[in-house]
Amino acid sequence: MHSNRTAANAAGKPANRRRNVLAASLAALAVTSAPAVLAQQKISDDVVKVGVLTDMSGIYSDFTGTASAIAAQMAVEDFSKDATVHGKKIEVVSADHQNKADIGAERARAWFDRDKVDVIVELVNTSVALAVMDVAAQKNKLALVSGAASLPITNERCNANTVHWVYDSYGLASGTAKAVVGSGKKNWFFIAADYAAGAAMTNDASRVVTANGGKVVGVAKHPFPTADFSSFLLTAQSSKADVIALANGGQDTITAIKQAAEFGITGSKQTIVPIVLFINDVHALGLKTAQGLTLTEGFYWNRDAKTRAWARRFFEKTKKMPSMAQAGVYSSTLNFLKAVEKTGTDDAATVMKYLKSNEIDDGLFKGKIRADGKFAHDMLLLEVKKPAESTEPWDYYHVRGIIPAEDAALPLSESRCSLVKR
């Protein structure tokens, strides 16, 4: 019996070796050829094209605008020295949506259908973002939103083709409103822009105020845009509310804060609280006017060594430090390209699946994209410095707290997004 087993083993060894060699050869062939096959078959139109759709000339253009297009181009340069992925050229195009939803939607359709754009980024202005993300879903393309604020983008209006990248009205309210109510300022009066984002900021901040023992004593809605806030500020002043909250953005916020100072509200018992404020707004106001304001942002250039290094490169190109929206354009573009590289395709569903399946950590943002399309990451509770406290240009903030990702995003248990499993 021993001799029979030896003979059988000897006879089987050549066959086993042949099978092992064949299996190894097939595995090696699959590994070496898969990326090339994927790229050849699945990079559409032989180009990967990023569209930056933003406000190039209106009241939001300072913290978005042409500098957002530059941020997207920086992402391309950092991703690939020769601006290619799988041997296919990467292009960045940009356009002005003029803060009009119909113009934004029309541009999106033309980009997707005629110009073969694969992803649209930035999308400041909620009405524009909502219109464009609907077009992206219809055309099976991607919309990565960094400039708009409204929670509905990933709540009741969510879709499988959209990511809300930087901030939303829930995160802003969770930081700023909670901190201010916690300091003892309980009664709030809102001056709100009469559009979707103004309503979302008012609703989300009001919810936080009341949940923490505060009270909303009034809301005054103003047209968009507005140059004269005198009647709204006088109404808010006469309410004797502890807080006059500004649920608007861009130049409207800057104008309201300046006029509040002229009316003697700034420095009085009443506190001006902007629900959303960008570093560019603080720069325009100056520290003398803006000092002491409490706000929440998703990014601050002077937070750590990585953010400073990237921001100084951005400054060299734009002559200003990046807003959180512009940082979001860089981050969303870079991570989109990484997903194309890893999956070998620019197909929207495949890229989105990869983005939602992997942690993001690009030096500017760190977190995870949830089922509803919300990129959940930490937010920063900030206080504007006094002039004497600033050590260099654009050194404007004290970081007063870190709002963890799980607190800065609407709990999925409360979500109305159809993508969230119950």
- What are the structural domains, with CATH classification, of the chain? 44-167+301-377 (3.40.50.2300), 170-275 (3.40.50.2300)
Q: What is the distance between the alpha carbons of residues 147 and 72, in angstroms, rounded to a whole number? A: 13
Q: How high is the pLDDT of residue 267?
A: 86
Residues 6+ apart with CB under 8 A from 286: none
Q: What is the distance between the alpha carbons of residues 390 and 170, in angstroms, rounded to a whole number? A: 30
Q: Is the peptide bond before 225 cis (omega within 30 degrees of 0)?
A: yes
Q: What is the distance between the alpha carbons of residues 379 and 407, in angstroms, rounded to a whole number? A: 9
Q: How high is the pLDDT of residue 31?
A: 41
Which residues are bridge partners to 96 per DSSP? Answer: 54
Q: Give exposure, 282-296, as e/b (b: 16+ Cβ within 10 Å).
A: bbbbebebbbebbbb
Contact 369, 375 (CB under 8 A): yes
Each of the 422 residues of the chain gets a pLDDT tens digit; together they read: 344 433 444 444 444 454 454 444 444 444 444 444 443 448 999 999 999 999 999 999 999 999 999 999 999 999 999 999 999 999 999 999 999 999 999 999 999 999 999 999 999 999 999 999 999 999 999 999 999 999 999 999 999 999 999 999 999 998 999 999 999 999 999 999 999 899 999 999 999 999 999 999 999 999 999 999 999 999 999 999 999 999 999 999 999 999 999 999 988 999 999 999 999 999 999 999 999 999 999 999 999 999 999 999 999 999 999 999 999 999 999 999 999 999 999 999 999 999 999 999 999 999 999 999 999 999 999 999 999 999 999 999 999 999 999 999 999 999 999 999 97
Q: How high is the pLDDT of residue 65?
A: 98
Q: How high is the pLDDT of residue 422?
A: 76
pLDDT in tens, 278-308: 999 999 999 999 999 999 999 999 999 999 9
The one-letter code for the residue type at 161 is N
Determine if residue 234 is left, alpha or beta; phi over 0 gives left, psi from -120 to 50 gives alpha, anything else beta. Answer: alpha
Q: What is the distance between the alpha carbons of residues 153 and 374, in angstroms, rounded to a whole number? A: 9
Strands 142-145 and 119-122: parallel
Contact 362, 310 (CB under 8 A): no
Residues 6+ apart with CB under 8 A from 33: none
